[in-house]
Amino acid sequence: MDEAFIPDTIRFGRELTQPAIASGREYLMTYHEAYCSSSFAGNSRRYHGLFIDHGRIILSSLHETINGISLLPGWWGDRPIHESVAHILSARLYPVTEEFFLGSALVTRTRELDQGLRIRWEITGTADLEIRPLMIDRSIHDLGSEHQIQVEPVQGGYDWNGYQFRCTLPFTSEEHHYFHARYPLDAARGYEDQEDLFSPGIFAGTITNDIIELGVYPGGTYHLRTSPAPPRDLINRASHLCIQNGKIITGYHGLMQARGRDTFISMPGLLLAYGRYHQAEDLFRQYLRHRNGGLIPDRIPDSYNSADGSLWFFWALFQYLQTQQNSPFVDGIIPDLESLIMSYPETVHTSMEHDLITVSPHSTWMNTRYTPREGKPVEINALWVLALEVCEYLEINVPVSSKQVRRSFYSFWNEATGCLYDVLDPDDAAVRPNQLIALALGLVPFDEGRRALDTIQNTLLTPYGPRTLAPGSPGYQGTYTGDAFCHNGMVCPWLMAWYIDALIQYGEHPWHVSRVLHPLSSYFLSDGCGMIPELFDGDFPYTPRGAICQARSTGEFIRARNTILSLQGTRNDE
């Protein structure tokens, strides 16, 4: 695949009639604090729903019956899932459009999100159509509901707790309970996985060669559009998914909160790559306002659990300076930057010894209790060098010269493994991908750098990124079964950008570098439905895990793609 070519539309065919494929392809549309997300087989996790607003499920799904054929989506007790996908002819994204042939009618159903949810059925032929909204009142995190769903029938549909449900078909009140909706992805993680849904009534009618529309909107906004439609370009669209009210949120579905580390890892791809400099500047200022000595907050206003958030801040600033070095914005934050860098070696999570940074346990990006990494982590000290160099470039006072730290950094080299220690003092020789950040920044001599990349390629690399731990190491697990293995074998696709940077740094041929991203690009355009997930299994078949759309995975995928496009441009110039 030519990395320069990303189509505007993702297309699927009859493979969606296979339940395993249909359920594995999850889509996501967002609008401010609302989203629509499900799979082509229906809701497979508690976070799914056709319209979710401010973390609250407003419409779970629809049960459509067309010409006597039931299209009830999802998993219900012992009911076979294949019934809900058997009639799909094709689908495309975005918006979410599916085509069916039902009886003698060709039906094209389109779902899109602006200030609310719009669903349109285009019917060629004649269709007896019945549509039942399936509702529940709960947070996305908690199954079940004790809230009474109050429905008020009105002209064109009904109102419910401040939301309008309107359709061009007439509405008839006819309450019905749907029992034992199952969410298999929750069950697979050992969580509660069943609940009941409620239908307040039915929209029904016979339609010939016409279009039916249904909308779900907050009160007062029905049929009102005040912002442009999402970009059609799939890469640009992906960059918007994790931006909410000017903030970068960690991901969907269960990580919908802004985190300092994730904000600055993903900022180059999500904001800077598209010239959204004012948004980036607002985030720089916001996190500086809430800093505590040498730490920026992990979560605003007062959570400071991250030893590396401040260093990722300087990484994002370094990327900003590549094109905005004369920006007056930087002049305005110089005092804060100096205070941040001077205070960084003396915080509750960081200290400096022999020019290198020591951190407290569980404070790096590998932050589960199963990867404490107390001591001097390799990527912390690589980013420490970069932060010092950025400050020196800006003529800011620093606590130690970057040249001194570069000399001390060579102590990370481990001749026995042919790569870098993951942590020093205490020494941890486990082969992990954190060293890629040091390699990408050119902190290792050329010959040793090539050896390290060979070790990484032979032990860590998968089609979708490097594993977090080499197979065969103590504690390695290649299939996700819980947090114990999140950073002990799972693949983190965001690190693929750093692998590509490291290959370039150590002289790899541009053609070989460009090939590295092909599998992840193919995933983005197929099973990923225009998104990059948080994790993949470390073992074949590299099943996606965690958040279906993560900010740093998406942002770094975009940055890696831009890097490869620039390589291709250089090659063409030659």
Quote the pLDDT of residue 8: 82
Look at residue 229 and tell me if it is in a domain. Answer: no
* Lowest mean pLDDT segment, chosen from 291-295, 428-432, 471-475, 479-483: 479-483
Higher pLDDT, 1 or 428: 428
201 shares its domain with 256: no
* Lowest mean pLDDT segment, chosen from 18-32, 50-64, 143-157, 209-223: 143-157
238 shares its domain with 122: no
Query: CB within 8 A of 121, min separation 6: which ones?
Result: 107, 108, 109, 127, 129, 207, 211, 212, 213
Quote the pLDDT of residue 226: 45
33 shares its domain with 181: yes
| pLDDT exceeds cutoff 50 at 225 | no
Quote the pLDDT of residue 291: 96
How crowded is the C-beta side of 417, counted as CA atoms within 13 Å? 22
Look at residue 398 and tell me if it is in a domain. Answer: yes
Quote the pLDDT of residue 78: 82
Write out the residue range of the structural domain in which residue 463 sits.
Answer: 234-573
Look at residue 1 and tell me if it is in a domain. Answer: no
Task: Report the distance separating Cα 442 and Cα 410, nearest Å.
Answer: 11
Report the pLDDT averaged over residues 83-112: 94
Quote the pLDDT of residue 567: 87
Quote the pLDDT of residue 574: 42
H or E, element range at 120: strand 117-134
Quote the pLDDT of residue 232: 65
What is the SS3 assignment for 86?
A: coil
Look at residue 425 and tell me if it is in a domain. Answer: yes
| pLDDT exceeds cutoff 80 at 127 | yes
Q: How confident is the model at residue 148 (pLDDT cuts 50, 70, 90)?
A: low
Q: Are 516 and 226 in contact (CB under 8 A)?
A: no
| CATH code of the domain covering residue 392 | 1.50.10.10
C-alpha torsion angle, residues 107, 74, 38, 221 (rounded to 10):
70
Report the pLDDT averaged over residues 393-409: 97
Higher pLDDT, 56 or 573: 56
Look at residue 226 and tell me if it is in a domain. Answer: no
| pLDDT exceeds cutoff 80 at 83 | no
| pLDDT exceeds cutoff 60 at 223 | no
| pLDDT exceeds cutoff 80 at 221 | no
| pLDDT exceeds cutoff 60 at 371 | yes
Quote the pLDDT of residue 572: 43
Q: How confident is the model at residue 150 (pLDDT cuts 50, 70, 90)?
A: confident
| pLDDT exceeds cutoff 90 at 16 | yes
Q: How confident is the model at residue 3 (pLDDT cuts 50, 70, 90)?
A: very low
| pLDDT exceeds cutoff 70 at 54 | yes
| CATH code of the domain covering residue 172 | 2.70.98
- Cross-strand bridge partners of residue 135: 198
Report the pLDDT averaged over residues 349-355: 96
104 shares its domain with 248: no
Backbone angles phi, psi at 376, to 5 degrees: -115, 90
Domain boundary residue among 218, 251, 284?
218
Look at residue 86 and tell me if it is in a domain. Answer: yes
Span 546-564, pLDDT tens digits? 999 999 999 999 999 999 9
Report the pLDDT averaged over residues 290-308: 95
| Nearest C-alpha neighbor of 421 from the set 459, 378, 468 | 378
359 shares its domain with 466: yes
Handedness of CA 79, 82, 84, 87 (dihedral sign): negative
Largest CA distance in the chain: 79
181 shares its domain with 309: no
209 shares its domain with 151: yes
Report the pLDDT averaged over residues 342-364: 97
Look at residue 223 and tell me if it is in a domain. Answer: no
Task: For residue 148, count other CB atoms closer than 10 A to its CB.
Answer: 9
Task: Report the distance separating Cα 506 and Cα 498, nearest Å.
Answer: 12
| pLDDT exceeds cutoff 50 at 37 | yes
Query: CB within 8 A of 296, min separation 6: which ones?
Result: 260, 287, 288, 290, 306, 309, 310, 313, 340
351 shares its domain with 240: yes
Q: How confident is the model at residue 224 (pLDDT cuts 50, 70, 90)?
A: very low
Residue 252, judged by CB atoms within 10 A of its CB (0-12, 13-18, 19+), counts as buried
Q: How confident is the model at residue 145 (pLDDT cuts 50, 70, 90)?
A: low
b or e along 224-240 (b: 16 or more beta carbons within 10 Å of the residue's beta carbon)? Answer: eeeeeebeeebbebbbb
Domain boundary residue among 167, 190, 218?
218
241 shares its domain with 164: no
Backbone angles phi, psi at 236, to 5 degrees: -60, -45
Span 498-537, pLDDT tens digits? 999 999 999 999 999 999 999 999 999 999 999 999 999 9
- From residue 172, give the alpha-carbon distance in Å to each of 73, 158, 178, 408: 22, 10, 18, 75
Task: For residue 101, count other CB atoms closer than 10 A to its CB.
Answer: 15
* Lowest mean pLDDT segment, chosen from 156-160, 227-231, 538-542: 227-231
Task: Report the distance separating Cα 384 and Cα 123, nearest Å.
Answer: 61
Which tokens go with 282? 């607002």
Query: Looking up tokens 């114990």, which residue turns up?
Result: 484
Residue 549, judged by CB atoms within 10 A of its CB (0-12, 13-18, 19+), counts as buried
Report the pLDDT averaged over residues 301-306: 94
Q: How confident is the model at residue 222 (pLDDT cuts 50, 70, 90)?
A: low
Share of the chain above pLDDT 70, in %: 95
Quote the pLDDT of residue 254: 81
Which tokens go with 247? 């903030």
What mean pLDDT value characterizes the chain?
93
254 shares its domain with 185: no
| pLDDT exceeds cutoff 50 at 241 | yes
325 shares its domain with 402: yes
Q: Are 538 and 478 in contact (CB under 8 A)?
A: yes
Query: CB within 8 A of 48, min separation 6: which ones?
Result: 26, 37, 38, 39, 42, 60, 183, 253
| pLDDT exceeds cutoff 70 at 228 | no
Q: Are 496 and 265 in contact (CB under 8 A)?
A: no
How crowded is the C-beta side of 554, counted as CA atoms within 13 Å? 32
Q: How confident is the model at residue 230 (pLDDT cuts 50, 70, 90)?
A: low
What is the SS3 assignment for 391?
A: helix
Quote the pLDDT of residue 5: 57
321 shares its domain with 239: yes
Q: Give the count of domains, the chain.
A: 2
Span 435-458, pLDDT tens digits? 999 999 999 999 999 999 999 999
Q: How confident is the model at residue 483 (pLDDT cuts 50, 70, 90)?
A: confident
Look at residue 228 and tell me if it is in a domain. Answer: no
Domain boundary residue among 158, 191, 218?
218
Q: How confident is the model at residue 170 (pLDDT cuts 50, 70, 90)?
A: very high
Span 309-345, pLDDT tens digits? 999 999 999 999 999 988 999 999 999 999 999 999 9
